[in-house]
Structure formats: structure tokens, C-alpha cells
């Protein structure tokens, strides 16, 4: 040691030792800072004591500090910083919650009820509301076929209709559909709804087949053969529709409603319509089966999952169909009634016109509701009785109101002469009759030619009843009966050359006697059906009318009618029945 060194020891000995000591301690401190675990080891006992002291003595400040620290961690800390904390804490929290839940079940229930209970309550309320809407809608559509069907079903099954409604209203959720090859138990095609999954569908298919085989075989031995069609498990079920070589298995939640049964049946039918042979010949080679196409056919079953409350559904087409049907029926009935009345009126008019005594008088028919009113005037009661007898040869489906007036016998000579003139004019309305008359000193002389002695005699009877007439002389040559009808070939309605002479004669006659009107009535044979007969008769009458109009006859002077039947007395004569007949009407009105 040098002198200088010794001097330093003497002067600074204590300070130097202090510095050395401080340096050693500083080095120790640096080492601890470099190795935090050593620092923690050193501080930990004090730190825990410090925390305990702080939490007990400075409770509020401590709590504030911890909350701030946690907030900072959650808000600003990175995932990497707080995830380890969460991982550490989670098991502790879970364990504590678990223990607490077990030991304080009722407390936990009370605590969770406001949240969970509310959720459940809301869900159940919504479900019930949907169901009620559905039921209400079904009740409101009370006239639907489905409703009537349900009522019958309720009666037959002896259960309440409301129960059936409730059953129908329960939502159905089709989870999966499997098409299973029945003998092999192999899955040919399967489709699962979103969010659902089937583990090993092949196993499910085989097991279902084994189960159904077992049950069917057992039942077959015990009672009678019947396929299993439903397997229940928990809240779910498997609905099975079997046909030939395949099962269609529908895995669903809810009730097997009629919609499910119908859709399953339709889907299986569609599959078999297209792929029955493929399925029958299936030997395990999946490429021989168009799996994807078959799975597409499952769609109607999954469409059941999109069940909406009835209020959103379009109204059933059945009521519309029923209304349309009723309207059609009503229309057809109205048409039939109208046709029947028209036919009846034409028949009565024909009867009057065919009666030689009555044909001379303007007797008209018209409808008042369902009563046929007959109006006109006849010169004596005898003719009125004849009219009545003509009409009442049999019982008619309609009432007839005979309003025909009987004129008082004419005493006035001038009036009598006018009546005689009208009678002769009426007789001359026949195109083959040509009569002239003379009235002198109460003596009437009729000369000329006529075709019908009966009609002339009828006129003579009327004339002789006149008080002013003392004698009647008839000097008439009767010609052979002339043609008053046009005949057609079977089914034909066209006018041909053979018809021309008569049509021209009728047109000339009408021109000669402007007060004469013509009735044209078309007939047909009874051989075809009613509608066809009516069509032919109408066409014949219209063609003849058109031909007469073409010859210059005014349409106002022609009344055209047609009847889907042969003319009177020709009911069984096919060739004679296919004709158009002419009737002449005299429009001369008798004055008082």
C-alpha cells in the first residue's frame, strides 16, 4: 500500500466502506431488476400484506384502484393481455357458479326468472298467438271443404273439433327425409333441413328397415299384415310411407298432420312415377340411381316448414270453385227452364195453329211468371171451348190462363159484312186458296178454289151464326193438298234448288196479302241428342227465313221458331220430320 493510499484510508476510510457497501447493494438491486422473479420473491410477502392492509384500511381507494385497473385492461388491453386472465378466472367462476347453483337452486331460479322466464313466456305467448290466429282463421273460413271434412272427422272419431283444430295448428318441422330401399335397407337418397344433421344415414336406414321388418313380421304372425307407419322418439317422430320396394321416412318435430301425410304420399308417388324401375332393380350401385333428382322431389315436404299463420295464407280456392260450380249450375238451370218454357209456348202456338177453327183468329201467347197467358178474341163460346179442349189434352207443367174473349153476336149488317170479309181474307192467306165472296140482301155467296174444306167449313159456321145473314152458298172447287213444308235430307239444313218454287210462291203470296204474316218453324228428327236436334232445327228455320228475306219479304212479317223434335203426327217418321213448316197469321183486327 502506498503512502497515498494509506493517507486515503485514514482520511476517507468510513466513506469508502460506505460507498463499497452501497455499490454492492446497488448491484444486488440491478440483478433483481434484471431477474423479476427474484424481485417478486422478495416483494411478494410484503405486497400481499400491503394489499390486505390497503383493502381493509383503505377499502374505497383500493376498490377504485382495482376497478380502474380492470377497466383499463378491458378497454385498452389487447386480446393477448386479458385472455390469459380470463382463462385463469373462467374455471373459477364456472366452478363457483356451479356450486352455488346446486346449493342455492331456489335463489338462482328467482334470480334468473325475470330474464329466462320472460323469454320463455314471450316465446310461448307468440306460439299460442300464432296458433290462435290459425284456429280463428280456420273457424272464419267455416264454409271451406277442409272445415266440413274436419267436422265429419270429429264426428266419426268422436273427438272435439277444437281438439282437431289445435292438432292441425301445431307447427311441424320436417328435419330430414330419407328414401330407403326396402329390401336392402339402403339409403337411396336423403336430404336434411338447414341446421339439422343425421349421423350415418345408412345406419339409420338399415335400422329402420330392421325395426319395421321385425314389427311387421311379428304382427303378421300374430294378427294381420300392416306396415309400421310411425315411430316416436321424444318430441320427434319418424313417419314412414311404404310402397313396393321403398320406404319414405320423414323425420319431424311436431304432429303428423294431414298435410304431412298428404305431402309424403304425393312425394312418394312422384318418386315412383319416375323411378320405380330404378328402385326395383337397385343392387347397391348408387350410380344407377339419380339421387339428386330424387332429392329434389322431397321439396314439398320441406315446404311444410314454411308454415305461416292462416291469416297470411291465400284464401282456399275451394269456396271459389264451389261458387263457380253453383253459378254454372244456376246458369244451366236458368237456361233449361227458359228453354223448357220456350218449347212449351211454341207447342201451344203450334196446337192453336194446327186447329183449323182456331187458326183463323189472332190468338197470342205470353208469359207472366210461370203462367202462360193466352189472349185473343173468338166470335163464339163454342170456339172458346174448342180452344180450351185443344190446350187441355193433357196435364201441363205450367199453368195456363185463358184470357180469350168471346165476342157478342153481331147484328149490324155492315159489321157482319166486315167480319165475312176478314174470314175470306184469312182463308185466302193460304197461298193455294183463292176465294171471292158476295153479300147481297142477307145472302152470302163464296166462290173460287181452296185446299182445306175444314177451314172453309169453319168459316161458314161463323158466317151462318151472324144474325144479319140469312143464307150462305158455297161454290168452291177443292184442290189437292199442296205442299206447306220444305223437307231436308238427314242432318242437312242448307236451302237447295228444290226448295226454290215454294219459297218464291210464299214470297209472292205475302206480297199480294200485305196483312198476312208468316210463321216459319224448323223441326228435326228425334234420332240425335236434344242439343244437336235443336241446332239443326234452328239452322233450317233461319236458312228458310233468310231465303225469304232475300226474295223481298220484310223480316217484320216473319216469325221464326224452331223445335228440337218432329212436327205433330210425324214423331216416328224420320224423313217427314226433317222439315220447315209454314203458318199464316192474319193480322186483321176485328172492330167492335
Partner 1 sequence: MKKYIKKILLIGNHGVGKTSLATRYVENKFSDAYLSTIGVNIMKKNLILNDQGNVAAVALMLWDVEGANKNQNVPLHYAKGCNAFIVVIDATRPQTAENLQQHLEYIHNFDVAIPFIIAINKSDLGSTVTLDEAAFQQKYSNCVGIVYTSAKEDKNVEELFTRITKRTIW
Residues contributing to the site for partner 1 (CB under 8 A): 181-187, 200, 202-203, 206-207, 210-211, 213-214, 216-217, 283-287
CB of 318 to partner 1, least distance (A): 43
Closer Cβ to partner 1, 85 or 210, answer by number: 210
- If DSSP codes are grouped into helix, strand and coil, which group holds residue 435? strand
Cβ–Cβ under 8 Å, residues 398 and 344: yes
Residues paired with residue 378 on neighbouring β-strands, in sequence order? 406
Closer Cβ to partner 1, 183 or 331, answer by number: 183
Grid cell locating 364: 197470342
Grid cell locating 514: 200485305
CB of 228 to partner 1, least distance (A): 12
CA distance 488 to 499: 9
CB of 176 to partner 1, least distance (A): 18
Reading phi first (left if > 0) and then psi (alpha if -120 to 50, else beta), residue 85 is in alpha
Closer Cβ to partner 1, 211 or 373, answer by number: 211
Closer Cβ to partner 1, 228 or 576, answer by number: 228
CA distance 36 to 42: 10
Cβ–Cβ under 8 Å, residues 359 and 427: no
CB of 193 to partner 1, least distance (A): 23
C-alpha 279, offset from chain centre = 36
Rounded alpha-carbon distances, angstroms, from residue 557 to 76, 349, 551, 560: 110, 17, 13, 10
Residue in 434, 590, 447, 436 with CA at minimum distance from that of residue 512? 434
CB of 106 to partner 1, least distance (A): 38
Closer Cβ to partner 1, 85 or 203, answer by number: 203
CA distance 200 to 543: 81
CB of 242 to partner 1, least distance (A): 13
CB of 209 to partner 1, least distance (A): 8
Q: Which residues of 430-468 are buried (b: 16+ CB within 10 A; e: fewer)?
A: bbbbbbebebeeeebebebebbbeebbebbbebbeebeb
Residue spans of beta strands (DSSP E) within 451-545: 471-478, 485-487, 516-522
CB of 175 to partner 1, least distance (A): 20
Closer Cβ to partner 1, 220 or 489, answer by number: 220
CA torsion, points 40, 43, 49, 55, in degrees to nearest 10? -70
Closer Cβ to partner 1, 295 or 342, answer by number: 295
Closer Cβ to partner 1, 271 or 359, answer by number: 271
Which residues are CB-contacts of 513 (< 8 A; sequence separation ≥ 6)? Answer: 425, 428, 429
Closer Cβ to partner 1, 66 or 203, answer by number: 203
CB of 234 to partner 1, least distance (A): 17
C-alpha 164, offset from chain centre = 24
Which residues are CB-contacts of 131 (< 8 A; sequence separation ≥ 6)? Answer: 166, 169, 170
CB of 258 to partner 1, least distance (A): 31
Rounded alpha-carbon distances, angstroms, from residue 157 to 151, 152, 214, 378: 10, 8, 30, 72
CA distance 554 to 86: 111
Cβ–Cβ under 8 Å, residues 559 and 582: no
CB of 256 to partner 1, least distance (A): 23
Closer Cβ to partner 1, 211 or 549, answer by number: 211
Cβ–Cβ under 8 Å, residues 174 and 304: yes
Closer Cβ to partner 1, 187 or 463, answer by number: 187
CB of 235 to partner 1, least distance (A): 22
Cβ–Cβ under 8 Å, residues 298 and 191: yes
CA distance 186 to 146: 38
Rounded alpha-carbon distances, angstroms, from residue 284 to 186, 191, 247, 288: 8, 19, 16, 9
Closer Cβ to partner 1, 127 or 210, answer by number: 210
Amino acid at each position: 500500500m502506498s503512502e497515498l493510499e494509506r493517507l486515503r484510508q485514514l482520511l476517507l476510510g468510513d466513506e469508502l466502506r460506505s460507498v463499497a457497501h452501497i455499490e454492492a447493494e446497488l448491484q444486488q438491486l440491478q440483478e433483481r431488476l434484471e431477474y423479476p422473479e427474484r424481485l417478486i420473491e422478495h416483494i411478494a410477502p410484503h405486497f400481499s400484506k400491503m394489499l390486505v392492509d390497503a383493502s381493509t384500511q383503505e377499502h374505497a381507494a383500493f376498490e377504485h384502484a382495482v376497478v380502474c385497473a380492470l377497466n383499463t385492461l378491458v378497454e385498452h388491453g389487447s386480446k393477448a393481455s386479458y385472455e390469459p386472465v380470463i382463462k385463469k378466472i373462467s374455471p373459477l367462476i364456472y366452478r363457483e357458479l356451479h356450486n352455488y347453483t346446486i346449493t342455492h337452486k331456489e335463489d338462482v331460479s328467482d334470480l334468473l326468472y325475470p330474464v329466462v322466464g320472460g323469454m320463455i313466456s314471450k316465446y310461448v305467448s307468440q306460439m299460442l298467438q300464432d296458433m290462435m290466429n290459425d284456429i280463428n282463421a280456420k273457424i272464419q273460413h267455416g264454409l271451406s271443404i277442409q272445415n266440413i271434412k274436419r267436422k265429419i272427422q270429429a264426428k266419426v272419431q268422436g273427438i272435439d273439433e277444437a281438439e282437431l283444430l289445435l292438432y292441425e295448428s301445431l307447427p311441424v318441422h320436417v328435419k330430414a327425409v330419407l328414401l330407403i330401399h326396402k329390401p336392402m335397407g339402403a339409403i337411396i337418397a336423403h336430404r336434411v333441413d338447414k341446421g339439422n344433421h343425421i349421423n350415418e344415414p345408412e345406419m339409420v336406414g338399415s335400422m329402420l328397415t330392421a325395426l319395421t321388418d321385425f314389427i311387421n313380421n311379428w304382427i303378421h304372425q300374430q294378427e294381420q299384415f300392416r306396415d309400421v307407419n310411425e315411430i316416436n322418439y321424444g318430441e320427434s317422430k319418424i313417419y314412414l310411407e311404404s310402397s313396393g320396394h321403398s320406404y319414405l321416412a320423414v323425420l319431424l318435430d311436431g304432429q303428423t298432420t294431414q298435410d304431412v301425410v298428404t305431402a309424403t304420399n304425393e312425394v312418394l308417388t312422384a318418386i315412383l312415377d319416375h323411378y320405380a324401375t330404378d328402385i326395383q332393380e337397385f343392387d347397391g350401385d348408387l350410380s344407377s340411381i339419380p339421387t339428386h333428382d330424387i332429392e329434389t322431389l322431397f321439396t314439398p315436404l320441406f315446404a311444410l316448414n314454411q308454415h305461416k299463420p292462416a291469416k297470411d295464407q291465400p284464401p282456399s280456392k275451394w269456396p271459389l270453385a264451389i261458387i263457380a260450380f253453383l253459378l254454372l249450375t244456376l246458369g244451366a238451370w236458368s237456361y233449361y227452364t227458359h228453354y223448357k218454357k220456350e218449347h212449351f209456348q211454341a207447342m201451344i202456338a203450334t196446337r192453336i195453329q194446327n186447329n183449323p177453327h182456331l187458326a183463323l183468329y189472332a190468338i197470342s201467347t205470353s208469359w207472366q211468371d210461370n203462367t202462360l197467358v193466352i189472349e185473343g178474341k173468338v166470335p163464339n163460346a163454342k170456339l172458346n171451348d174448342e180452344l180450351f179442349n185443344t190446350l187441355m189434352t193433357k196435364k201441363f207443367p205450367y199453368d195456363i190462363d185463358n184470357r180469350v174473349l168471346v165476342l157478342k153476336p153481331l147484328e149490324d149488317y155492315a159489321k157482319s159484312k166486315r167480319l165475312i170479309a176478314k174470314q175470306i181474307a184469312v182463308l185466302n192467306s193460304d197461298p193455294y186458296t183463292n176465294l171471292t165472296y158476295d153479300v147481297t140482301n142477307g145472302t152470302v155467296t163464296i166462290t173460287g178454289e181452296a185446299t182445306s174444306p175444314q177451314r172453309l167449313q169453319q168459316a161458314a159456321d161463323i158466317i151462318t151464326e151472324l144474325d144479319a145473314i140469312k143464307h150462305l152458298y158455297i161454290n168452291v172447287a177443292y184442290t189437292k193438298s199442296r205442299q206447306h213444308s220444305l223437307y231436308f235430307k238427314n242432318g242437312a239444313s242448307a236451302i237447295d234448288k228444290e226448295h226454290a218454287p215454294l219459297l218464291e210462291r210464299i214470297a209472292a203470296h205475302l206480297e199480294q196479302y200485305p196483312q198476312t204474316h208468316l210463321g216459319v218453324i224448323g223441326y228435326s228428327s228425334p234420332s240425335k241428342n236434344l242439343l244437336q236436334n235443336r241446332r239443326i232445327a234452328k239452322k233450317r228455320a233461319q236458312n228458310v227465313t233468310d231465303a225469304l228475306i232475300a226474295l223481298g219479304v220484310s223480316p217484320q212479317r216473319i216469325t221464326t221458331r224452331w223445335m228440337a223434335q218432329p212436327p205433330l203426327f210425324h214423331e216416328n217418321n224420320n224423313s217427314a220430320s226433317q222439315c220447315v213448316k209454314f203458318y199464316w197469321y192474319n193480322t186483321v183486327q176485328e172492330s167492335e
